[in-house]
Amino acid sequence: MGRLINESGLRVDGRRPDELRPIKVEIGVLKNADGSAYIELGKNKVVVAVYGPKEVHPRHMALPDRAVLRCRYHMSPFSTDTRKNPAPSRREIEISKVIREALEPSLMLSDYPRTAIHVYLEVLQSDGSSRVAGISAASVALADAGINMRDLVVGCSAGKVDGVVVLDLNDTEDKEGEADLPVSIMPNLNQVTLLQMDGMLSSEEFSKAFEMALTGCRKIYEVQRNALLTKYFGTSQPSQVEEE
Amino acid sequence: MSAVKKSIVVEQLRKAQLLQLLSKGNRMDGRGPLDYRPITVETHVIEKAEGSARVTIGNTQVIAGVKVDLGDPFPDTPDKGLLIVNAEVLPLASPYAEPGPPDEDAIELARVVDRGVRESQMLNLSELALLPGKRVYAVFVDVSVLNVDGNLFDTTSYAVVAALATTRMPGYTVVNGEVKKTGETPPLPIQTIPVSVTMARIGDVIIVDPTSEEEAVMDARITLTSDGRGNLCAGQKGQSGTLTFEHVMFAAQTSRAKGEEIRELLRKGVGSAKV
């Protein structure tokens, strides 16, 4: 056994391979925003604000048939072990793009022609898998903003550490593990909206990690749903969605 | 990055036409869904670069150049050499490309290609450390896209791989704790040939190697890179459409199968039986 999985098969933070970290989702945390949400996943702390639909700047960027969706994923300088330069990095620009593409299929953008919807994701503390935590929060923030949508989008990662396929990588596992597979889905429509991968996975490991990420997504979906029910109905209820 | 300007009406007409063809297993240029356009690989095209390659897939053309220098290692990997991949879509590459700093598409392109090369462990970066923590080899791969006709991910990836595989770098050695030039030009420590396979979903059909015309109407794109040992080592879904779970598994399978074919072609292209 290596350093990331101990003799009892547990991970550096004591989790089993298929176990999520503690998760918390809150809605309506920023009063100025049209919609907002806050997520904690392990030590990840991400706050998301949605502004819009609003006028498009510059104007020529407006689309005649639908809204423009703009996403900005940004890490605070104090969010990492060594200070992160606050200027957007190439990594952040790429992640902003894939997050936009992950959220866009869920939104009925054609209901808001000639407008822009802005989604700002600020990673206050990062602890591995922050992009998928951000996606899960961004989707409920969009729901909180009242943007018409087909389904929520929920994200979760899987990967491989010390030869074992595991769910929801933390910072250490992300940096020192062998593979990372972040996935986001629309859980009721069974559609994949984000999939990235780096590291090394055999055929079987890829299938297993992908399945595991899907199961993780469904668990996080329950948390999103309960957060929305709590904010808008004052109660949380068990899901009506059937397990696959 | 797209060489075909998007217009709602044209897009929908073209999509309808493509879908009709695809339902019979055909494409605009006569290919089947899982056929690549002709691929050419030419190496040693820039004498001043330590390694270089021009790769074309159909009308898409890119050129990759490798420069090897000495550098300081990253603090978190003191005993490894540096690998830096950058890509630029030149303004001469398409009527819709513009000069300026790389936009998000170019950044994504470079990062996805970088991931494939890095994560497949194509280069043994540990062998590129001279004085761990102090002085290491820095391998810079710069890619210029010369003509855009779709599938920049694969074209760029093959050019980077071919350029790296044929690089002869200035050799250095450590004498009494100092880095000295040896005068030799050894190859890079190559361990495997990663192959990126990019697929597009149009309607319910998955095709490989989309042209610009196909990219303009695709719903979603997925790039998966395999190494020479049957592992997947990098992946990226793109575009604002979705994939079903079955699409993802089909793409994983297709990436490995097509990857084997193209790996043979790249091996021939770089003329090295070793890898």
Contact A203 B111 (CB under 8 A): no
**B101–A contact, CB cutoff 8 A:** no
**B164–A contact, CB cutoff 8 A:** no
Q: Which pLDDT tens digit goes with each residue over B87-99?
A: 999 999 988 888 8
Q: From chain B, pick out residues whose CB is under 8 angstroms from the CB of A91.
A: 111
Nearest CA in chain A to B6: A63
Contact B8 A65 (CB under 8 A): yes
Contact B230 A193 (CB under 8 A): no
How far out from the chain centre does Cα B216 lie?
Answer: 20
A83, A94, A202, A218: best mutation site toward chain B, by most B Cβ within 10 Å? Answer: A94
The nearest CA of chain B is from the CA of A119 a distance in Å of 15
Contact A197 B243 (CB under 8 A): no
Q: Is residue B5 part of a domain?
A: no
Chains A, B: CB contacts under 8 A, how many? 99
Decide: A182 and A229 in contact? Cβ < 8 Å: no
C-alpha dist (Å) from residue A174 to A73, A182, A195, B227? 19, 11, 16, 21
A107, A135, A154, A203: best mutation site toward chain B, by most B Cβ within 10 Å? Answer: A203
Work out the percent of chain A whose per-residue pLDDT is above 90: 94
Asked if the model's pLDDT at residue A62 lies above 50, the reply is yes
Contact B252 A193 (CB under 8 A): no
Looking at residue B5, what is its pLDDT?
53
Three-state SS annotation for B112-160 = HHHHHHHHCCCECHHHHEEECCCEEEEEEEEEEEEECCCCHHHHHHHHH
Asked if the model's pLDDT at residue B15 lies above 90, the reply is no
Q: Is residue B8 part of a domain?
A: no
Q: Which pLDDT tens digit goes with each residue over A28-55?
A: 999 999 999 999 999 999 999 999 999 9
Q: Is B77 left (phi over 0), alpha (psi -120 to 50) or beta?
A: beta
Please state which of the ranges B12-16, B25-29, B132-136 shows the lowest mean pLDDT.
B12-16
Asked if the model's pLDDT at residue B6 lies above 80, the reply is no
Asked if the model's pLDDT at residue A1 lies above 70, the reply is no
Q: How many domains does chain B have?
A: 1
Q: Which pLDDT tens digit goes with each residue over B29-60?
A: 999 999 999 999 999 999 999 999 999 999 99
Q: Which of A90, A98, A190 sits opposite B245 (nearest CB)?
A: A190
Nearest CA in chain B to A97: B104
The nearest CA of chain A is from the CA of B86 a distance in Å of 11
The nearest CA of chain A is from the CA of B255 a distance in Å of 11
Q: Is residue B204 part of a domain?
A: yes
B11, B109, B232, B260: best mutation site toward chain A, by most A Cβ within 10 Å? Answer: B232
Asked if the model's pLDDT at residue B271 lies above 90, the reply is no
3-state secondary structure of A61: helix
Averaged pLDDT of chain B: 92
Confidence of residue A3 (pLDDT cuts 50, 70, 90): confident
A116-125/A68-75 β-pairing: parallel
Looking at residue B1, what is its pLDDT?
45
Q: Is residue B1 part of a domain?
A: no
Q: Is residue A129 part of a domain?
A: yes
Q: Which pLDDT tens digit goes with each residue over B202-216?
A: 999 999 999 998 998
Q: Is residue A101 part of a domain?
A: yes
Asked if the model's pLDDT at residue A167 lies above 90, the reply is yes
Q: Is residue A9 part of a domain?
A: no
Confidence of residue A238 (pLDDT cuts 50, 70, 90): low
The nearest CA of chain B is from the CA of A169 a distance in Å of 17
Strands (E), A28-128: 35-41, 44-54, 68-75, 116-125
Which residues constitute the domain of residue B106?
27-270
Q: State mean pLDDT over A94-105.
A: 98
Q: How many domains does chain A have?
A: 1
Tell me the two tokens of residue A18. 């298929």
Q: Is residue B7 part of a domain?
A: no
Q: Is residue B154 part of a domain?
A: yes
Which residues constitute the domain of residue A104?
23-233
Q: From chain A, pick out residues whose CB is under 8 angstroms from the CB of B245.
A: 190, 192, 210, 214
Contact A201 B231 (CB under 8 A): yes
Confidence of residue A234 (pLDDT cuts 50, 70, 90): confident
Looking at residue B63, what is its pLDDT?
98
Contact B224 A202 (CB under 8 A): no
C-alpha dist (Å) from residue B255 to B70, B195, B202, B267? 35, 8, 17, 17
Q: State mean pLDDT over A62-91.
A: 95
Looking at residue A186, what is its pLDDT?
98
Q: Which pLDDT tens digit goes with each residue over B182-200?
A: 999 999 999 999 999 999 9
ipTM value, please give it: 0.85
Q: Which pLDDT tens digit goes with each residue over A200-220?
A: 999 999 999 999 999 999 999
Q: Is residue A15 part of a domain?
A: no
**B236–A contact, CB cutoff 8 A:** yes
Any idea what the CATH number is for the domain that residue B190 is in?
3.30.230.70
Asked if the model's pLDDT at residue A235 lies above 90, the reply is no
Looking at residue B8, what is its pLDDT?
65
Q: From chain B, pick out residues whose CB is under 8 angstroms from the CB of A82.
A: 75
The nearest CA of chain B is from the CA of A234 a distance in Å of 33
Q: Is residue B92 part of a domain?
A: yes
Half-sphere exposure of B185 (CA within 13 A, CB side): 9
Q: Is residue A242 part of a domain?
A: no
Q: Which pLDDT tens digit goes with each residue over B217-229?
A: 899 999 999 999 9
Asked if the model's pLDDT at residue B273 lies above 50, the reply is no
**B234–A contact, CB cutoff 8 A:** yes
Confidence of residue A16 (pLDDT cuts 50, 70, 90): very high
Contacts of A80 (CB under 8 A, 6+ apart): A126
Q: What is the pTM of this model?
A: 0.90
Confidence of residue A239 (pLDDT cuts 50, 70, 90): low
Asked if the model's pLDDT at residue B129 lies above 70, the reply is yes
Looking at residue A244, what is its pLDDT?
44
Q: Is residue B172 part of a domain?
A: yes
Confidence of residue B67 (pLDDT cuts 50, 70, 90): very high
Q: Which of A64, A194, A207 sits opposite B249 (nearest CB)?
A: A207
Any idea what the CATH number is for the domain that residue A207 is in?
3.30.230.70
Contact B232 A206 (CB under 8 A): yes
Chain A residues 143-182 with CB within 8 Å of chain B: 175, 181
Asked if the model's pLDDT at residue B103 lies above 70, the reply is yes
